[in-house]
Amino acid sequence: MTDNLTIYKQIYPIQCSKIAELGYRSVINIRPDAETVMQPNSDDLAAATKQANLAYHHLPFDDERLSMTTIEQFAEYYHTVPKPILMFCGTGARAKLLYQSALMQGLL
């Protein structure tokens, strides 16, 4: 999306060291835990990102529950975490929606 933010699909703990090697410094997970059987949970991703020396935030929401509070919290993370940021959800669609919503609100 920008030099500071990449939007991506589901990541897995085993990928975190490679994400750090690629130059990312933060990960924002907007996917709720247990959406699918095969997805890793946030605690496992938090541990893997910590081991890879990446900042990590979990800001879960689904398409039907995108609130102004969620948009504002994302904007706060965006402005305060080390960049570049990798933000992800299941397919990338919700992550894109959240980013665009923050832009439209003038928060980024």
36-89: per-residue pLDDT in tens? 999 999 999 999 999 999 999 999 987 677 899 999 999 999 999 999 999 999
Report, at the CATH architecture level, how domain 5-104 is classified. Alpha-Beta Complex (3.90)
Give the burial class of 63: count Cβ atoms within 10 A of its Cβ; 0-12 exposed, 13-18 middle, 19 or more buried.
exposed
- The stretch 17-45 carries a mean pLDDT of 96
Q: How far apart are the first and last CA of the chain?
A: 13
* 106: nearest Cα among 67, 75, 61: 75
Q: pLDDT at position 58, please?
A: 98
Q: Spell out the domain ranges in the chain.
A: 5-104
pLDDT at 62: 78
Q: Residue 63: name the closest of 34, 106, 92 by CA.
A: 92
Q: What is the mean pLDDT of the chain?
A: 95
How far is it, in rounded angstroms, from Cα 86 to Cα 95?
Answer: 10
User: Could you tell me where the beta strands, DSSP code E, fall in 4-69?
Assistant: 5-8, 26-29, 55-58
Q: Which DSSP symbol is given to 2?
A: -
Q: Tell me how far apart the alpha carbons of residues 90 and 96 are, in angstroms, rounded to a whole number.
A: 11
**Amino acid at site 44:** D
Q: What pTM does this model have? A: 0.95
Statement: residue 1 has pLDDT above 70: no
Q: What is the pLDDT of residues 56-69, one digit of tens each?
A: 999 998 767 789 99
